[in-house]
Amino acid sequence: MEGSSTFIGLFKAQRNIFGICPLCRGIFRLSEIKISYKRKFPIDWYDKLLAEGEKLDEKEGELEEKLKEIREKATERARRVLLPKLLRRIDPLFTSLGYFPQDVKAIFDPIDFVIFDGMNRAEKVKRIVFMDQQTENRDQRIIQKSIEKTIEKERYEWETIRISPKTGEMEVSK
């Protein structure tokens, strides 16, 4: 605390120190001086530190851009190459039943798969198939049966929900 009061005292004292300008011979207070030099200051450790910080910030930005690009390429590759390979591993199941593996969407709960038959080959969905494995689990069998009955009794609807990006209002059409 004592050091800060000494520091403040130094600035207060500068108001009481006067000088005479060598060019115009006018009187000035030391606290009013604006020092300037014709030449640049020599580069010191702080200037070097600031320059290194700017270089690091620049490199960080470049790395973030490269990382973003790598992520985008990896995502595209996964969608284009890896997903079809993964689907081909389980392909015998779907192909043997006459389904194109990329038409299959895994949801796993309450059923394992929804198949949009024709979506990727014909670009037109011919039918939608719900596929689930037979189970010994009583609760799961009850769900499977209730989904089957719901479809048989045609107790389903198609709804399209449009949300306005500006207002957030929803419009539902059936």
CA–CA separation, 136 vs 160, rounded Å?
36
Torsion of CA 23, 25, 28, 32, to 10 degrees: -10
Q: What separation in angstroms does the CA of 165 have from each of 68, 159, 161, 162, 172?
A: 26, 19, 12, 9, 15
Q: What is the pLDDT of residue 167?
A: 86
3-state secondary structure of 95: helix
List, for residues 123-138, the tens digit of each pLDDT value.
899 999 998 888 888 9
Q: What is the pLDDT of residue 97?
A: 85
pLDDT band at 152; cut points 50, 70, 90 = very high
Q: Is the pLDDT of residue 22 over 70?
A: yes
Say how many C-beta atoms besides its own lie within 10 A of residue 104's C-beta: 22
Contacts of 141 (CB under 8 A, 6+ apart): 135
List, for residues 51-81, the tens digit of each pLDDT value.
999 999 999 999 999 999 999 988 887 777 7
The arithmetic mean of pLDDT across residues 84-102, rounded, is 75
**Residue 117, CA atoms < 13 Å, CB-side half-sphere:** 11
Q: What is the pLDDT of residue 107?
A: 86
Q: Domain spans of the chain?
A: 41-89, 99-174
CA–CA separation, 11 vs 32, rounded Å?
11
